[in-house]
């Protein structure tokens, strides 16, 4: 069964540095998402992406964050000038979108640790 893949599985970065989290969505999917889960808290929506532009974003997704689909397969989340509170598990998801109410499929996540 096709799956969403995320790299790296664990990223350790110094505070203030930039980090790029990478995702390869399922190949025929049209909608892409990033979520994060701070340790012990609920999974929170960050951003959704469709047709090469952001379709929705949360209050968390401020100017520090950006997303990009640089080619036909990758979907990246860039965090500039990282802060301690950015430490979390980041999940990428994708959805078919050609049929309504199709579920989102998630990757295994990238654990981001800011030191």
Partner 1 sequence: GDSVTQMEGPVTLSEEAFLTINCTYTATGYPSLFWYVQYPGEGLQLLLKATKADDKGSNKGFEATYRKETTSFHLEKGSVQVSDSAVYFCALTPDILTGGGNKLTFGTGTQLKVEL
- Token reading at 56: 């929705």
**With binding defined as CB under 8 A, does residue 105 bind partner 1?**
yes
Minimum Å distance from CB 6 to partner 1?
8
Among 21, 88, 91, 112, interactor with partner 1 by CB under 8 A: 91
Strand positions, DSSP E, 1-115: 5-7, 10-13, 19-24, 31-37, 43-50, 53-57, 65-68, 75-79, 88-95, 105-106, 110-114
Which of left, alpha, beta for 27 (phi over 0: left; psi -120 to 50: alpha)? Answer: alpha
Minimum Å distance from CB 47 to partner 1?
9
Segment 13-52, which members bind partner 1 (CB under 8 A)?
31, 33, 35, 41-45, 48
Cβ(75)–Cβ(67) under 8 Å?
Answer: yes
Minimum Å distance from CB 32 to partner 1?
11
Contact residues toward partner 1 (CB under 8 A) are 4, 6, 31, 33, 35, 41-45, 48, 55-56, 58, 91, 93, 95, 100-101, 103-109
């Amino acid at each position: 069964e096709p799956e969403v893949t995320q790299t790296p599985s664990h990223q350790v970065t110094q505070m203030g540095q930039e980090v790029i989290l990478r995702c390869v969505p399922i190949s025929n999917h049209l909608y892409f998402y990033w979520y994060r889960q701070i340790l012990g808290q609920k999974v929170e929506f960050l951003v959704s992406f469709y047709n090469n532009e952001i379709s929705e974003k949360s209050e968390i997704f401020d100017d520090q964050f950006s997303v990009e689909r640089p080619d036909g397969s990758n979907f990246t989340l860039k965090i500039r000038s990282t802060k301690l509170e950015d430490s979390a598990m980041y999940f990428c998801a994708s959805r078919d979108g050609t049929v309504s109410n199709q579920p989102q499929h998630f990757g295994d996540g990238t654990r981001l640790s800011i030191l």
